Structure 1
Amino acid sequence: MGRLNFLLLIAVLGSGLVLVHSAYEARRLFTEIDRAKVEAARLESDSQRLQAERHAQATNLRVEQVAREKLRMKTITPAVIQTAGDHGVAASGAQR
C-alpha cells in the first residue's frame, strides 16, 4: 500500500508541474499575440501614412515644381523647339 501511495503522489506532483508549465506557456503565448497585434496596427498606420505621403508627392503641381527646381526644366515654347530638319540644315551649313 505504501508504494501505491508513493506512485500516486509522484503522479499528482508530475501532473501539477505539467499544469503549471502549460498555464505559463499559455500566458506567454497570449502576450506574444498581443504584441503582434500592436505591431500589426502600427505597421498598418505607417502604411496608410506612407501612401498618403506618396499621393501628396505625386500630384501634378509637386511634379512640376520638382522638375523646375531640381531638374531645371522649362516649359516648352515655340522658341525652344528644334526639329530634326533644323539639325540637318545647320550641319550642312557648317560644313560649307
Structure 2
Amino acid sequence: MGRLSFVMAVVLMASAVSLVTSRYQARQLFIELDRSQSQMHQLDNAWRQLQLDRAELARNARVDRTARDVLKMISISPDRTIYLSQPPAAGQVGGGQ
C-alpha cells in the first residue's frame, strides 16, 4: 500500500508541475499575442498615415506649387509654344514591307 501511495504522490506532483508549466506557457503566449496585436494596430495606423501623406503629396495643387517654387517651372502659353513635326522615317510609311 505504501508503494502505491508513493507512486500516486509522484504522479500527482508531476501533474501539478505540468499544470503550472502549461499555465505559464499559456500566459506567455497570451502576452505575446497582446504585444503582436498592439504592434499590428501601430503598423496599421502608420500605414494609414503614409497613405494620407502620399495622397497629400500627389495632389495637383502641391505638384504645381513644387514645380513652380522648387523647379522654377512656368505654365505653358500658346505664344511660347513651338510645335515640331518630323517626317516619318523611311520604311515606316504604309505599315511595313
- State the TM-score, normalized to the length of structure 1: 0.79
Which of the pair is proportionally richer in helix?
1
The count of corresponding residues between Structure 1 and Structure 2 is 86
| 1:4-43 alignment, distance < 5 Å | 4-43=4-43
| Consecutive unaligned residues in structure 1, runs of 5 or more | 86-96
Partner of 2:84: 84
Query: Percent identity, aligned pairs only?
Result: 36
- Deviation at residue 5 of structure 1 after TM alignment: 1.2
Partner of 1:91: none
- Deviation at residue 80 of structure 1 after TM alignment: 2.7
SS class of match (1:75): coil
C-alpha distance in 2, partners of 1:65/1:20?
A: 65
The runs of at least 4 aligned residues of structure 1 exceeding 6 Å deviation read none
- Deviation at residue 46 of structure 1 after TM alignment: 0.9
| Consecutive unaligned residues in structure 2, runs of 5 or more | 86-97
Q: CA RMSD in A?
A: 1.7
